[in-house]
Amino acid sequence: MDTSAAEAILREAGQAADEEIDLARTALAFAVCNRPQAGEARFHDHLRQLVNEVTQEAAGQPTSLATQAASLRAVLVERHGYRGDRESYDDLSNADLSQVIERKRGLPVALSILWLHAGRGQGWAVDGLNFPGHFILRLEAAGGERLILDPFNDGQILDTNNLRALLKSFAGEKAELDSAHYQALPNRAILLRLQNNIKIRLLNANAYDQALPVIERMLMVAPKDAALWREAGLVHRQLENLRAAITCLENASGLAELPAARQRIAAEIAALKNKLN
């Protein structure tokens, strides 16, 4: 697969209903855009292998969330050695699914995509959660029983005390758990969260020329995201691509829901047009 084919997959995801998006396939398409020479076929083979091995691991076992969690952990952690990368956490390779598969190390959201793929391949109800600062997963049974797992930490099962401590470590001692922290994230939002790790690190390094294609590919998956269009416009402005910046900001304005956001964007557009005159 070359970059053009990978971008076609991203655009396909951008037009698809959220539940129809193949998380791992789309995440690998992002990776191919960064490394078209890596050859994606072996990574897709590995994804199929993970699903098959979890199927075999769970065969003959009692049907329970504990069995599901144990089967995922046995394959992803014990057999294949997937771990969170603590030594080089900010390395961009930790958010590139192809390199995560090669290195068996990654960020919480990248590792979680592999767990989601393997679990959903069994028909299990597994979702990523809208938890701040650290991506985690929820397994759920038909009767409402739930288990929350941390793929970054070897699939550790997290109880309420663990979750409260985790939240406070990211959001401060005054932070408390609420229902929003248990909400499932849509597939599109998971993909954006994955790429956001790359984008933020590049922007923090003022590597605007490298950040721009990352944002543009995020927009392929989320073409109606006003905040991303605005960000693309501001990066174009940094690169002195003023006409492109105006176009992106106009797209952002058309998609923005709040009047205050539209007013702010209008002021940014006016400033850019003044620079052109």
pLDDT of the residue at 175: 87
pLDDT in tens, 189-238: 999 999 999 999 999 999 999 999 999 999 999 999 999 999 999 999 99
pLDDT of the residue at 29: 96
Question: What does the block give as tokens for 136?
Answer: 């985690």
Torsion of CA 223, 229, 233, 234, to 10 degrees: -140
Which residues, 6 or more positions from 176, have their beta carbon under 8 angstroms from its beta carbon?
A: 164, 167
Average pLDDT value over all residues in the chain? 94
Question: What does the block give as tokens for 260?
Answer: 């205050």
Stretch(es) of the chain classified as CATH 3.10.620:
3-182
Q: Determine the Cα–Cα distance for residues 247 and 42; give it in Å rounded to an integer.
A: 39
Q: Which CATH number fits domain 3-182: 2.40.160, 3.30.110, 3.10.620, 3.30.1040?
A: 3.10.620
pLDDT of the residue at 9: 96
> Cα 97 to chain center, whole Å?
10
pLDDT band at 62 (very low <50, low <70, confident <90, very high): confident
3-class DSSP state of 85? coil
pLDDT in tens, 261-271: 999 999 999 99
DSSP 223: T
Q: What percent of the chain has pLDDT over 70?
A: 100
pTM: 0.94
The region of weakest confidence among 71-80, 81-90, 133-142, 171-180 is: 171-180
Compute φ and ψ for 156, nearest 5 degrees.
Answer: -55, 135
